[in-house]
Structure 1
């Protein structure tokens, strides 16, 4: 997956070979490459009106291994020069800062979103008996709830907590084959550090998605580091919240692709 593939060009080259369903998928990808690059396969299937297996098959027709590789190459094709011009109404109102913050954080983290870290964390999820997902603040706790709902639909047992006190209560049930995932985008990991330390003493696997180096990263078996540079300060945490959602999308996509290949 190292060599760059121009997905849209491949679509144009092969369009005469496509069935009606494949043409519908091809048109959607050509019209919405950025949306495709950050959406889960289940969401794409709903938006296009086809099955997830049809989307996976389409990726293979293009000579790619799976939909994850297609999304990777779409994301790799983006750069700042590709960004559309902000509508004049946004530019004059200041709302363009929201748009630019979201665009910047997604572009800064394309590699991690599409890289081996997602594959490794997905394997950790598959192998865990129970999955605990804890956030350091209200925003990341909401993201944890989103992840819980989606992983539950894939057959996983997921536990979240609504407060630091609840986290400590949940930690009493940690077992050696559990996975503890922590989320920290506000750079206040203090509430999470003792939880992860306890998980390590009980030989749980641990993973963290974070925007800074701290004792939390030292304790964790794997780290998904968020690049938060060049983001407008006012909208920074909103942008990082959307990035966490994109990470959850990527994990869901990877887990679904594994289910399809079994």
Structure 2
């Protein structure tokens, strides 16, 4: 019971942030849920919960989706995902995650200083660099279902409206996780168990139990996140986005140093 409760609390806190901003739940939750459940159960649970949450946001915010930018993002991220799936199943990735965490922290600090008026960034970053970020985001999403940080760095440059930002990224997570769940062997035990429970009355396995117990916490997070999202103006929204990114980088490094996930 304590395992389910701890997992539920993490799901509630991180998915509330996801509803507010449109990203962040998986990468923030991953170290903690990995510590509680193990890396495979964490990847399965968080990918499915993100799919459910994304489906809700897409269904209710459909008119805010920027289809042109969605096409660019999903194409480049989609190119990187098969590489990430392969890496997850064949190679250790501690060094990659450590470098990722450092990169995210440095970028977030620079952006936060800019948002608070501390510095004026005069460096012009070529457009191709942002496209490369999307490709690397796809690799990370295929490996850990947590490719959001790189995608968000691209999205903060392209989206000025917070509703458009959230709706378009939500459609991206639904699309990517549909592909991930359908093609990655990590998810096959859960899918087989759901089919067996539905058709044969078989007992629920650990992955399905984790999912069932987490759903009420997800629903409460959706309700609270929606209330907060509509009370946040555009300037504060951007600050929240970069604070969440900063927390993401810190959590990645902590998880790496503690050898979690």
Q: What TM-score, normalized by structure 2, do the two folds share? A: 0.30
Mark the structure with the bigger radius of gyration.
1
**Higher share in strand:** 1
Q: What TM-score, normalized by structure 1, do the two folds share? A: 0.30
Q: Which has the higher contact order (CA 8 A, sep 6+)?
A: 2
